[in-house]
Amino acid sequence: MLRENLAFGVVLGNFEIAYPAYQSSPSDLAVDYAHNDYPQAAAETGLAGVALIVCALALFFRTTFRNLSRRLESGRGWIQLGVTLGCCGLGLAVKPS
C-alpha cells in the first residue's frame, strides 16, 4: 500500500477502504485497521507523514531529556521523567488482536 502511494499515502482514515485491494486472500471479513499503528500510519500518510511523525518524536525526546540531570534535582523533574517514560510505554504498547 505504501509502495504504491509513497508520497502521501492513502490519506488518514482510509485504511479500511484501501485495504481490500491489497488483501492476500479473499475474505468476507472487513479489516478496519492494521494490528500495528506504525505501519498503518505510514500507509495512510506516506513518507510525508512518516517524516512528520519522526520529527515530532525527535522534538519530544529532545525537549524531554535536555538538561535532565539539572531538572532531576527538583521533585518536578522526576514527575516529568515519569510522564515521559509512561508515554514511551504507551508508544510500545501492543493492541490485542
- Do 78 and 42 lie in one domain? The reply is no
Domain extent, residue 7, equals: 1-63
- Do 44 and 14 lie in one domain? The reply is yes
- Do 45 and 21 lie in one domain? The reply is yes
Confidence band of 22 (pLDDT split at 50, 70, 90): confident
- Do 19 and 35 lie in one domain? The reply is yes
Q: State how many domains the chain has.
A: 2
CA-wise closest residue to 41 among 7, 15, 3, 21: 15
| Assigned C-alpha cell, 22 | 491489497
pTM of the model: 0.74
- Do 49 and 80 lie in one domain? The reply is no
- Do 46 and 91 lie in one domain? The reply is no
Ranking 22-26, 49-53, 57-61, 78-82 by mean pLDDT, the lowest is: 22-26
Name residues whose C-beta falls within 8 Å of residue 2's C-beta, 6 or more positions apart in sequence. Answer: 9, 39, 42, 43, 46
Query: Would you call 2 exposed, middle or buried from its count of C-beta atoms within 10 A (0-12, 13-18, 19+)?
Result: middle
Q: What is the pLDDT of residue 82?
A: 92
Per residue in 28-69, pLDDT (tens digit) is 777 888 888 888 999 999 999 999 999 999 999 999 888 888
